[in-house]
Amino acid sequence: MNAFLSRASEYLPLLLNGLWLTILVTFASLCLATVLGLVWALLRTSGIRALALPTRVFVECVRGIPILVVLFYIYFVMPDIGIDLTALQAGIAGLALTYSCYIGETFRAGIEAIDRGQVEAAKSIGMRHGLMMRRVVLPQAVRIVMPPYANNVIMLLKDSSQVSVITVAELTMQGKALASSTFDNMTVFTLVALLYLCLTIPLNIVMRSVETALGKSR
């Protein structure tokens, strides 16, 4: 145990550099994915076929492609058409694009779960579609989608490790590099796992607290 703690104190500063990058990638990707996901959901539920159908096709296509392929495509293929992103930018864009489709479907399900009677009542008093969504539909949908949205947040945090394949030096890549140089796989990857738990457990607690607060406000 003492040997583990001694090695851990030596490795931890290097791994913390990757941890902060993991947090950055997760936070930036989540913000973009949430905004895009809401856009996809609103387009899917707009009732305008010319908007809903292409959005549905796009979402289903992206959901059917592994995250690694999306990351490779953005980082290695997009430069061929003049869009040259850094590894960090490509990683954030790839995660955001992929998870926006999952989050978008979550939002769509929440919107469609609202009682149609409330929608008809809002229309009957002259509410336009945008106002109805803001004041009637979305506030209720947020309460419905919070549990699956929280799951998406946790999954996004864990999938942020995928950006290591395009040389983003986040926690997982730092762990791989450190293990390769020290050959101390057990200590290094135990620390990596513990650091991920230090992120996911508090995040779980926060999301559950939000769910509880929203539940009480019904």
- What CATH number should be reported for the domain holding residue 112? 1.10.3720.10
Q: Answer whether 67's CB lies under 8 Å from 162's CB.
A: yes
CA atoms of 120 and 44, how far apart (whole Å): 19
Tally of structural domains, the chain? 1
pLDDT for position 129:
66
CA atoms of 133 and 39, how far apart (whole Å): 12
Residue-range definition of the domain harbouring residue 204: 2-216
pLDDT for position 67:
93
* DSSP SS3 for 152: helix
Per-residue pLDDT of the chain (218 residues; tens, 9 = 90+): 667 677 777 888 888 888 999 999 999 999 999 999 999 998 998 888 999 999 999 999 999 999 999 999 999 999 988 888 999 999 999 999 999 999 999 998 888 887 777 767 777 776 776 677 777 777 778 788 888 898 999 999 999 999 998 888 788 888 888 888 888 888 888 899 999 999 999 988 988 887 777 666 55
What b/e readout covers 45-63, taking b as 16+ CB neighbours within 10 angstroms?
beeeeeebeebeeebeebe
Taking the model in full, what pTM does it have?
0.87
pLDDT for position 35:
95
- The tally of CA atoms less than 13 A away on the side-chain side of residue 46 is 17
CA atoms of 80 and 116, how far apart (whole Å): 47
